[in-house]
Structure 1
């Protein structure tokens, strides 16, 4: 129908083929197929162009309105996507610095979307807490949630230059017993060990905290060996303020996922956020 309307509006098959950017033979064949399907002749062809038959005129009156309505619907969808409006409620882990930049870019792309961001290490109940999408580190085992996997990465074991100048560089995990260590601890009980390659090292930390920014600060001051997410350590490693330790004994992989409720059909705002994060994330967490 779009081809038929295009021929009528262009005045000839050749002009329509050029306007539609398709071979003349293909366009002519499709119009003949339409005529056979309807059982009527729609166009009278001559060297001067095409002329509508009476059935063709009646079809054009209806088809042209339908084609214009379709085009208007497509424009409306594109326009709505460009002007998404509303509130997006998010949950993030603490100290997830790359996401701050990512959210700023998201709002540049969609300036009419307002963000409500809850930062917590607690595993929030998305329904009870009114959260649309949660950023979650670790494996997901929750039947009522949909997980959109983003990336897999590893934390890095680091120390400041001053500490290494004083104590030297460790060559194997057991060497870490000679160093003051600081560990991330999610709660008041227990101290997590470091799985360094095939060996589990259990530090006796001088500091245990659930704040990675605190750990980074102490490492930058040359006071401790600690583990950091790669995005919190990358810049300091590049400029030499921190050194990555024991690269032959890497820490375990971590999964990064976006979670949303499985029983709730994602809104256009949520879909835009999910797709944006998946597309843009690689440049931030590396």
Structure 2
């Protein structure tokens, strides 16, 4: 397939009359422009420009390519301009669901509203896995592997939970050196059900705590562990600041929790609207510069 960016550069050279003038207009280095034009010539296996000490002249083949492609390129650029304007002035409602206590998304949505001030965002915080169709949700943020034939899952990042304790608890009970040492400590667990007895996967080992507390709220766990009540696991974004401040200590760091996948989920039978596509793309770009780890 022809490199359209390089073709656009070639058209600019023809229109401006020289490589240097085109480089100035496109605001790119002259060597970069020359290299891209040479690559286009190699791709097409034809010479588009004749270069000499007196300057650059378009070949007959180059003139034919310019005549055939200039109008089409202008059409593509005009379409790109229209789409960008539509994105800039998007208006409407975006309905999303998030897991509880997923703090990084609060900041992400703040930035999203700055870029798209005319999109009204409705956020549905729920621990259960919502039915997007029944609940009228456009995009759901899901943690874990997605297996759903009628949904599209866009994987955006992954992270690991961490095992933590307060300095005061460790001062009283010591620092666990091995997984078996955890039996000496009060532990609290995250559980989606009152009767659940989940285990911790720590490296290649499984450990089932005798929990003094079971809850489906990570903020509850964070509150208790910082008070020195127990050892627990936390998502890294809930523990990071407290670890940096010395309020929490990471434990058994050579026994890692499994990676957690983070996906954006939306119905497969619907063509994503401009608003949904804008949200999906924004999340991906935002997470390139913001780590959940």
Q: Which residue of 2 aligns with 1:219?
A: 225
- What are the equivalent positions in structure 2 for 1:60-71 lying under 5 Å apart? none
Q: Which residue of 1 aligns with 2:250?
A: 244
Kindly provide the CA deviation profile for residues 9-29 of structure 1, in whole angstroms up to 9, marking residues without a partner as x.
x7xx73899467786423765
Kindly provide the CA deviation profile for residues 44-80 of structure 1, in whole angstroms up to 9, marking residues without a partner as x.
xxxxxxxxxxxxxxxxxxx98x987766544322211
Q: Equivalent residue of 1:135, what SS?
A: strand
Between the aligned partners of 2:121 and 2:209, the Cα distance in structure 1 is 40
> Is 1:31 aligned to 2:54, yes or no?
no
- What are the equivalent positions in structure 2 for 1:1-286 lying under 5 Å apart? 14=17, 18=21, 24-26=56-58, 29-32=61-64, 72-282=78-288, 283-286=290-293
Does the 8 Å CA contact 1:17/1:27 hold for their aligned counterparts? no
Q: Which residue of 1 aligns with 2:3?
A: none
Kindly provide the CA deviation profile for residues 157-210 of structure 1, in whole angstroms up to 9, marking residues without a partner as x.
100011001101001111111111111111122211111112211111111100
Q: CA deviation at 1:143?
A: 0.6
Does the 8 Å CA contact 2:194/2:214 hold for their aligned counterparts? no
Does the 8 Å CA contact 1:138/1:256 hold for their aligned counterparts? yes
Does the 8 Å CA contact 2:143/2:261 hold for their aligned counterparts? yes
Change (3 A) 1:34 1:216: closer
**TM-score normalized by the length of structure 2:** 0.78
Q: Equivalent residue of 1:84, what SS?
A: coil
What is the number of equivalent residue pairs in this alignment? 256
Name stretches of at least 5 consecutive residues in structure 2 with no aligned partner: 1-7, 27-32, 34-48, 50-55
Kindly provide the CA deviation profile for residues 211-265 of structure 1, in whole angstroms up to 9, marking residues without a partner as x.
1001000000111100100100011011110001111111122111110111111
Change (3 A) 1:30 1:210: same
Q: Which structure would you say has the larger Rg?
A: 1
Does the 8 Å CA contact 2:95/2:136 hold for their aligned counterparts? yes
Q: Equivalent residue of 1:142, what SS?
A: coil
Q: CA deviation at 1:101?
A: 0.4
Q: Indicate the larger mover: 247-256 or 224-233.
A: 247-256
Q: CA deviation at 1:284?
A: 4.0
Change (3 A) 1:28 1:94: same
Does the 8 Å CA contact 2:154/2:263 hold for their aligned counterparts? yes
Q: Equivalent residue of 1:233, what SS?
A: helix
Between the aligned partners of 2:233 and 2:76, the Cα distance in structure 1 is 56
Between the aligned partners of 1:155 and 1:262, the Cα distance in structure 2 is 30
Does the 8 Å CA contact 2:13/2:21 hold for their aligned counterparts? no
RMSD: 3.0
Name stretches of at least 5 consecutive residues in structure 1 with no aligned partner: 38-62
Between the aligned partners of 1:195 and 1:93, the Cα distance in structure 2 is 21
**TM-score normalized by the length of structure 1:** 0.80
